[in-house]
Amino acid sequence: MATVTYDKATRIYPGQDAPAVDSLDLQIEDGEFLVLVGPSGCGKSTSLRMLAGLEEVDAGAIRIGDRDVTHMPPKDRDIAMVFQNYALYPHMTVAANMGFALKIAGTPKAEIQQRVMDAAKLLDLVEYLDRKPKALSGGQRQRVAMGRAIVREPQVFLMDEPLSNLDAKLRVSTRTQIASLQRRLGITTVYVTHDQIEAMTMGDRVCVLKDGRLQQVDTPLKLYDKPANVFVAGFIGSPAMNIATFDVDGERAKLGEADVHLPPAVASAVKAEGSDTVTVGFRPESLVPTSSEDVGGIPVTVDLVEELGSEAYVYGHPAGPKAEEQSDRMRSDTVIARVEPRMAPHKGEKVTFSVKDGESHFFSVKTGERIEA
C-alpha cells in the first residue's frame, strides 16, 4: 500500500492547445478511497490513465509512495486496473482469468490457486471458478474483474467507471460491495465515475474536475455543504441546487418577486468587489413553504410534483411577470423544492417558499468563487 501524488501533472494531447489535464496537484493518502468525478471531457479518465502509465505525462510528476513513476512502464508501477468493459478472456475460466497475471509473472502454481481461492471467497465467486465469462451475469463478471485485481495484491487499485455497464439496481448493490471490500483490504484506490451519486456514496474524498482543472477535493459532506464555486454547487447534489443571479439591495437579494436575506458579510464582500449582483444557491431541501405575507420569499408556480413515497419534489417556475423578464439570470428556469409528500401542492398552484436560515450559498458573479456568510 502507498500514497499517490500528482505534482502539477499535465497532459496535452497532440494537436490540442488546451491541456486535457492541467497542472493537477493532488495527494491521495495510504488506504484512501478517492473518487474522480466530473462531466464528460473533464480529464478524469486521462488522470487515471496517467497514473496507470497508459498516457504520457507532458509536465509535472506522479509518485506512488516514494517512487517517481512518471515515465515508468505500467508493468513496473505495482497497480491493478479494473476497466469499464471487464476485459475478461472469454476462452478462460473464472479461475484462469483471475490468476492469469500471476501466471505470467511466474508465480508458483500453488500460490496462484491459494490467492485465487482467497479472492473468490471474498467476492462470493467460489461456485463460479470453473465457468467461462459468457455463463456469468454482468455483476458476476464485474466481481471477476475485481478478483483479478485483488489477487495481484497491488499498492494501488485503479477503477475506470466499473459499474457503468450494470443496470441501476445492480449498480447500487455492487458499489456497496466495492466500497466495503476496499475498506476491508485497505488498498489505496482511485475510482473514476461520471455519476456524482456514486462518488458521494463511495469515496472517502471526492475530487471534482472541470476542463482538466481541479475544482475542489474534500469529503462528500463538505462538498455538499460548502461547495467552493458555482460549478461544484451545481454539479454536486441530486436534484441539483437552485442557482440564480440576484440584485443586491442592502441586506436583501432580489430577483423579480423573489427576495432572500443577504448576510452582512456577503453584502460587504459584494460591495468590496464593485458589484451590485450576487449568485445565490439553495438546495431543494432548504426551501420550506411559507406565508406570502411574510417578509421575503420565493413565489413559485407548480408545474409538476414528483411523489417518491417518503418525500416529494415540487418542480415549478418563478411566479410573476418580473421573474419571466429575468429568467435569463437563472441557471435553470425550474425551481425545485423538497416537501412532505402528504402536504404537496397541486399542479398550477402558486406557492411561496423561504430559504431556511443559514442554508443559502453565495458566490461572486465575477469569479464564481464562494463567498462565506
pLDDT at 324 > cutoff 80? no
One domain for residues 275 and 215:
no
Looking up residue 66, the CATH number of its domain turns out to be 3.40.50.300
Per-residue confidence (pLDDT) for residue 328, from 0 to 100:
66
Q: How much is the average pLDDT of 161-174?
A: 84
One domain for residues 224 and 327:
no
Of 369, 240, 352, 242, which is closest to residue 297 (Cα–Cα)?
Answer: 352
For the ranges 141-145, 197-201, 325-329, the lowest mean pLDDT is seen at 325-329
Structural domains in the chain (count): 2
Residues 6+ apart with CB under 8 A from 272: none
One domain for residues 72 and 12:
yes
Give the Cα separation of 361 and 239 in Å (integer).
16
Looking up residue 316, the CATH number of its domain turns out to be 2.40.50.140
CB 228 within 8 A of CB 290: no
Domain boundary residue, one of 217, 234, 251 = 234
DSSP for residue 233: H
Would you say the pTM of this structure is higher than 0.85? yes
Coil vs helix vs strand at 102: helix
Residue 361 backbone dihedrals phi, psi, to 5 degrees: -115, 140
Q: How much is the average pLDDT of 127-142?
A: 92
**pLDDT range class, residue 124, cuts 50, 70, 90:** confident
Give the Cα separation of 170 and 354 in Å (integer).
38
Q: How much is the average pLDDT of 269-287?
A: 94
Q: How much is the average pLDDT of 197-209?
A: 94
One domain for residues 91 and 198:
yes
* Residue ranges making up the domain that contains 265: 242-371
Domain boundary residue, one of 234, 255, 290 = 234
One domain for residues 356 and 290:
yes
One domain for residues 274 and 355:
yes
Q: How many C-beta atoms lie closer than 10 Å to residue 25's C-beta?
A: 12
User: Which residue in the block uniquely carries the three cell numbers 449582483?
Assistant: 277
One domain for residues 291 and 212:
no
pLDDT at 64 > cutoff 90? yes
One domain for residues 266 and 301:
yes
One domain for residues 198 and 284:
no
One domain for residues 189 and 273:
no
One domain for residues 217 and 308:
no
Per-residue confidence (pLDDT) for residue 292, from 0 to 100:
66
pLDDT in tens, 19-51: 999 999 999 999 999 999 999 999 999 999 999
Q: How much is the average pLDDT of 255-282?
A: 92
Give the Cα separation of 281 and 242 in Å (integer).
5
What mean pLDDT, rounded, does the chain reach?
Answer: 91
One domain for residues 306 and 227:
no
Domain boundary residue, one of 201, 218, 234 = 234
